[in-house]
A and B are shown apart, each in its own frame.
Chain A
Amino acid sequence: MDKIRNEQIRGTVKVEQFGDKAREARLRWFGRVLRRNRGYIGQRMLEMELPGRRRRGRPQRRFMDVVKVDMEMVGVKVEEAVDRARWRQMIHCDFQLLQVTVRDALNQAMDEELERDERVFLLGEEVAQYDGAYKVSRGLWKKYGDKRIIDTPISEMGFAGIAVGAAMAGLRPICEFMTFNFSMQAIDQVINSAAKTCYMSAGLQAVPIVFRGPNGASAGVAAQHSQCFAAWYGHCPGLKVVSPWNSEDARGLLKSAIRDDNPVVVLENELMYGVAFEVSEQGLSKDFTIPIGKAKVERPGNHVTLVSHSRMVGHCLDAAAVLAKEGIECEVINLRTIRPLDVETIEASVVKTNHLITVEGGWPQFGVGAEICARIMEGPAFNYLDAPVIRVTGVDIPMPYAKILEDNSTPQIKDIIFSVKKTLNM
């Protein structure tokens, strides 16, 4: 039985959530009451206190209690009710664009590609009958069966090699690593058998394979399960490496990866799987792909450029929101692809803002940020820098377990804010 979420149904028929609509009605009435002249009974009722003692127990909620919360949620103040048009505009709730979690986005992308091309199949540990270790492949085995969704034994080197061999014979496998930490066991097959083959054979032998799985830090899984492999895979020619942040990225990049005739490494993030994002109607179409090698400006700004990938993009946007209140407008770039790196987008941004900060979850030495620094220095944007490029990275240690230690091992929003203020000399 398919699980169809409420958001999907609402999104399809373009209907708002009931609670949101009720809130809009309440605030509309409240505004109308405030705009009436003094002496209007409605106004008197707002502040009225009934005499006598109430019975014991929790105090009853009054209209003003509810409306205060509503106003906070929507972000309006009582004074603003005077301007009717503006009030109406501010409290209006639009039907929400479809909210899709990253997990569902990946699931849908794989489902659609499996349907579109018979040669596509998925293999990995627990991807079939268990529905995926992180439930990313939920429902696919039921729909496509043993031939297309294959559970493998715990033999990374073996099944990664098998996937590459199948790709050489013309199929289009998706090889899932339960986490990219385990891909180290199979990294010879990824690099030597997959990435280099097209070049070594002078174009005679293609390897249309996708390696995907969660990458980087999770929560409380300690050192052996928390490494970020963006720099390792991003180092090698012959590979394409993508790192989606939100659901639209996940859908578009995974689809592009599957349709690409070359080996692509898709670095997902386990902490992002459950996060829901709005996806536009265009983003939901079956042929929606995001070109590999193009970064996206998530938020325009003109004081400083923040470049990031995967989960850290969210942190950058949060930091930008906080800094905006102080008048610092950050331009946030979501790399989307690690290899090939879209330096042009970063350079264009640096020309505008003159300050650059890279943010990543991985270790600093020889990392993504280090590569961006080198490229910026070698390119035309160097002359537009008013300060050296700053790298905000994970701490240069194996990931600890205790929560306080783990929290302080990857960049937090305050680290980004601190770095922005430092580079802007504030």
Chain B
Amino acid sequence: VLKVLLSLSNTARNIDFINGISLCIYGGARLVGSTRSFADFSPQASFDIKKCELHRLDQGPPTQALLTREQGLKYYRTMQTMRRMELKADQLYKQKIIRGFCHLYDGQEACAVGIEAGINPSDHLITAYRAHGYTYTRGVSVKEILAELTGRRGGVAKGKGGSMHMYAKHFYGGNGIVGAQVPLGAGLALACQYKGNNEVCVTLYGDGAANQGQIFESFNMAALWKLPCIFICENNKYGMGTSVERASASTDYFKRGDFIPGLKVDGMDVLTVREATKFAADYCRSGKGPILMELETYRYHGHSMSDPGVSYRTREEIQEVRSKSDPISMLKDRMISNNMASLEEIKEIDVEIRKEIEEAAQFATSDPEPPLEELCNHIFYNEPPMEVRGTNPWSKLKSIS
């Protein structure tokens, strides 16, 4: 028993050891649970984070981040949920239960979670098609996301939108046209400025979209009118199958805003992303105008489910990122080595998440498809019922909004 206890406890703290033994002696069945009481974890720790490269900025975000145990567990839970959700989507796609486009976000979890941690729920966010992660952080349940992917009536858009068109309060999708979401984001920022509500808009785009003309048009107007817009380029090194070196004359995406100040952020570390986002949000809220952030990140899957992702990059590269810079592992190691959580606790969370995802997948596969009567609904908003032509002249379908 003593040997078992010794192997279970990670540190040589005597009190814990005695506690462990006492638990073992007085409550044998409790051996499965944590051998430490929560009071023994450190409530918070300060971590050194990578310094950000700056463009037209004198000062960058702080190089130290404070992480509380609560926050750490929350970030871990959110990232792990996103990871498992994307892997479940992968599974369902291969079983042909999800069709069409499916762009998976695994590997980039730190970006979504870090950004959400740096802004308020009342701020606005818009992204492109790799949107499942953001849909989750902006408040949609896994159940509704998976059901939308499988095209069922329980989906967040009632099955009408699919992978790329999911919406929530202050989350504007999910946009399929590469780069089109950037002017939309600038417009959301204009609305924030117009209403004077001190909110900001986070506008995301990828390294592939960074060469779109409309992005530069948005930069110009955002800077001209000092819109409270945080432009974020998620640089995962590949635009579909084209590496950044083959697509862009300048791969310093944080400098591409030219007259807009920029910073380059390590997108695999949730704390760095959070601090940078906080810094950017403060900058915008102070009325100084837009700011640009480049998040260096990586996607494990290919561009979409129809892309194996190994024709333009090596398996070794993917493996290296997975082992050295995986965001979830990094956070877990940090928390455990600083005594902010125990392995058991983490494992418990993993089990819970697995269960949640399984239940959600179960719902997503068993929920019925939307009824045919709803085919023509929601064409317009707040509109009296109208008639819509079907596939032939005798087919007159009803549409209500």
Chain A interface residues (CB < 8 Å from chain B): 121, 147, 150, 152-153, 155, 157-171, 188-189, 192-193, 197-208, 237-238, 240, 261-262, 340, 378-379
Alpha-carbon distance between A193 and B189 when the two chains are bound, in angstroms: 16
**Which single member of A155, A161, A169, A188 contacts B191 (CB below 8 Å)?**
A169
Q: Could you show 18 A-B contacts with beta carbons less than 8 Å apart?
A: A157-B213, A157-B214, A158-B186, A161-B186, A161-B214, A162-B190, A165-B183, A169-B187, A169-B192, A170-B195, A189-B184, A193-B177, A198-B380, A200-B161, A201-B161, A202-B161, A202-B377, A204-B157
- Specify the chain B residue showing the minimal Cβ separation from A153: B220
Alpha-carbon distance between A168 and B225 when the two chains are bound, in angstroms: 19
Does B50 sit within 8 A of A, measured CB to CB? no
Q: Which residues of A contact B386 (CB under 8 A)?
A: 340
**Which single member of B177, B187, B220 contacts A192 (CB below 8 Å)?**
B177
**With A199-B378, A201-B161, A202-B378 in contact, is A193–B180 under 8 Å at CB?**
yes
**Which single member of A162, A166, A171 contacts B218 (CB below 8 Å)?**
A162
**Which single member of B173, B176, B189, B221 contacts A158 (CB below 8 Å)?**
B221
**With A161-B214, A262-B383 in contact, is A202–B158 under 8 Å at CB?**
yes
**With A147-B194, A199-B378 in contact, is A188–B180 under 8 Å at CB?**
yes
- Specify the chain A residue showing the minimal Cβ separation from B161: A200
Does B63 sit within 8 A of A, measured CB to CB? no
Q: Counting chain B CB atoms within 10 Å of each CB, which of A121, A162, A164, A340 scores highest?
A: A162
Q: Which residues of A contact B165 (CB under 8 A)?
A: 200-201
A288 to chain B, nearest CB (A): 20
**With A189-B180, A193-B177, A340-B386 in contact, is A166–B160 under 8 Å at CB?**
no
**Beta-carbon contact of B393 and A193 below 8 Å:** no
Alpha-carbon distance between A204 and B388 when the two chains are bound, in angstroms: 21
Does B26 sit within 8 A of A, measured CB to CB? no
Alpha-carbon distance between A252 and B379 when the two chains are bound, in angstroms: 23
Does B188 sit within 8 A of A, measured CB to CB? yes
**Beta-carbon contact of A158 and B218 below 8 Å:** yes
**Beta-carbon contact of B180 and A158 below 8 Å:** no
Q: Which residues of A contact B192 (CB under 8 A)?
A: 169
**With A161-B218, A203-B378, A262-B381 in contact, is A168–B157 under 8 Å at CB?**
no
**Beta-carbon contact of B180 and A198 below 8 Å:** no
Alpha-carbon distance between A140 and B242 when the two chains are bound, in angstroms: 48
**With A192-B180, A201-B165, A201-B173 in contact, is A206–B185 under 8 Å at CB?**
no
Does B217 sit within 8 A of A, measured CB to CB? yes
Alpha-carbon distance between A147 and B190 when the two chains are bound, in angstroms: 10
**Beta-carbon contact of B177 and A200 below 8 Å:** no
Does B175 sit within 8 A of A, measured CB to CB? yes
- Specify the chain A residue showing the minimal Cβ separation from B392: A378
Q: How many residues of B contact A (CB 8 A)?
A: 49
Alpha-carbon distance between A117 and B47 when the two chains are bound, in angstroms: 50
**With A121-B194, A158-B218, A171-B194 in contact, is A164–B382 under 8 Å at CB?**
no
- Specify the chain B residue showing the minimal Cβ separation from A148: B194
**Which single member of B157, B180, B188, B388 contacts A169 (CB below 8 Å)?**
B188
Q: Which residues of A contact B224 (CB under 8 A)?
A: 153
**Beta-carbon contact of A155 and B379 below 8 Å:** no
Listed from nearest, the 5 A-B pairs whose CB atoms lie closest are A165-B187, A161-B183, A158-B217, A169-B191, A155-B217
A120 to chain B, nearest CB (A): 11
Q: Which residues of A contact B401 (CB under 8 A)?
A: 198, 203
**With A152-B221, A168-B172, A205-B172 in contact, is A161–B378 under 8 Å at CB?**
no
- How many residue pairs link A and B with beta carbons under 8 A? The number is 149
Q: Which residues of B contact A199 (CB under 8 A)?
A: 160, 378-379
Does B124 sit within 8 A of A, measured CB to CB? yes
Alpha-carbon distance between A249 and B225 when the two chains are bound, in angstroms: 35
Q: Which residues of A contact B221 (CB under 8 A)?
A: 152-153, 155, 158-159, 162
**Beta-carbon contact of A161 and B176 below 8 Å:** no
- Specify the chain A residue showing the minimal Cβ separation from B187: A165
**With A189-B183, A193-B177, A205-B172 in contact, is A200–B217 under 8 Å at CB?**
no
Q: Which residues of A contact B175 (CB under 8 A)?
A: 193
**Beta-carbon contact of B183 and A160 below 8 Å:** yes
**Which single member of B186, B377, B379, B380 contacts A162 (CB below 8 Å)?**
B186
Q: Which residues of B contact A147 (CB under 8 A)?
A: 194
Alpha-carbon distance between A90 and B192 when the two chains are bound, in angstroms: 62
**Beta-carbon contact of B183 and A159 below 8 Å:** yes
Alpha-carbon distance between A170 and B199 when the two chains are bound, in angstroms: 14
Does B182 sit within 8 A of A, measured CB to CB? yes
**Beta-carbon contact of B378 and A168 below 8 Å:** no
Alpha-carbon distance between A237 and B167 when the two chains are bound, in angstroms: 20
**Which single member of A161, A166, A198 contacts B379 (CB below 8 Å)?**
A198
**Beta-carbon contact of B187 and A166 below 8 Å:** yes
Q: Counting chain A CB atoms within 10 Å of each CB, which of B168, B182, B194 scores highest?
A: B194
Q: Which residues of B contact A161 (CB under 8 A)?
A: 180, 182-184, 186-187, 214, 218
- Specify the chain A residue showing the minimal Cβ separation from B194: A171
**Which single member of A167, A201, A204, A340 contacts B187 (CB below 8 Å)?**
A167
Alpha-carbon distance between A170 and B170 when the two chains are bound, in angstroms: 11
Q: Which residues of B contact A206 (CB under 8 A)?
A: 381-382
- New contact pairs (7) apart from A168-B184, A201-B161, A262-B381, CB-CB < 8 Å: A147-B194, A159-B183, A162-B184, A164-B184, A198-B380, A200-B157, A200-B161
